[in-house]
Amino acid sequence: MDEIIEKLKELGLNEYQSKVYIALLKKFPATGYEISKLANIPQSRTYDTLKSLENMHIVIATNAKPVTYTPIKPKELTKRFKRKIDSTINFLEKKLPDVKEEEYTEPILSIIGRTKIIDKIIEIIKSAQKSLYIELWAQDFKYLEQSLLDAYNRGLDVKIVKYDNFICNFGTVFEHSGVPMLEHYISGKFIFLTADETEGVFGLTQPPKNKTPNILWTKNSEVVFLIKALMIHDMYMIDIQDNFPEQLRYFYGAGLKKLRDKILH
């Protein structure tokens, strides 16, 4: 019963109003005295509460002596609150954007700690509607595999770049061949993810020792675009390397050494 009272309070009734309405559902019509006993509230507060519920059209009073009270049906109560909430939300959706004085910029927020990071990424994957692009290591894939598979089975376009050797039997998978180079230049293991081109994360899920896992999460469209662009370029390079290995070795040497030296030195 306490839980029902709390939910009624969330809809806008106060504690006495909630208790009186529940009491009337148990026995109606009822007098103010009877309601006071059923609701276990002071009789002096019962009549004020009944009057307020009358004004809200949640309780109906008779003209008889003594006055008795009857509640509206629960379905009518919930329908009325639903209409009110929907109307309020529709109003705010239309009017709130007009309040801003300048263009709103989506923030970039830090998520710290491995458990919170994994939970957030799973939440993003579950809420995605169209596409998921992700680059990750086996240790993270182990925790995200089921959510990614569920998204794929929902019909999402799932594209995965795997940095190390793990098995993934769904989506479009690209195997990154430059892991030794990545491990040389970047300490720790990281993740990149975009969902529906509206949400993205990047950062270290497995940092060097004595460091805390930390990723950045955002709905900033410009940053999400950059995260996805990085992954798309990785996918381009991986596919080209897979299909033209001899030509690339001829021009750039083993492991694209000449190209890496040109760019990184």
Mean pLDDT of all residues belonging to the chain: 88
How sure is the predictor about 158, in pLDDT bands with cuts at 50, 70 and 90?
very high
153-157, 177-181, 203-207, 226-230: segment of lowest average pLDDT: 177-181
The string of pLDDT tens digits covering residues 26-75 is 888 888 888 888 888 888 888 889 899 989 888 888 887 888 889 889 89
Residue 265's pLDDT is 72
How sure is the predictor about 201, in pLDDT bands with cuts at 50, 70 and 90?
very high
Determine how β-strand 68-71 pairs with β-strand 189-195.
unpaired
Distances (CA, A) of 219 to 68, 104, 152, 244: 56, 12, 22, 37
Is the four-CA dihedral 255, 228, 146, 206 of positive or negative sign? Answer: positive
**Res. 180: pLDDT tops 60:** no
Q: By three-state DSSP, how is residue 161 classified?
A: strand
Q: By three-state DSSP, how is residue 112 classified?
A: strand
How sure is the predictor about 183, in pLDDT bands with cuts at 50, 70 and 90?
low
**Res. 176: pLDDT tops 60:** yes
Percent of the chain at pLDDT above 70? 94
The string of pLDDT tens digits covering residues 2-34 is 889 898 888 888 999 998 888 888 888 888 888
Q: Is the pTM of this model over 0.75?
A: no
CA–CA gap between residue 216 and residue 223 (Å, rounded): 10
CA–CA gap between residue 252 and residue 260 (Å, rounded): 9
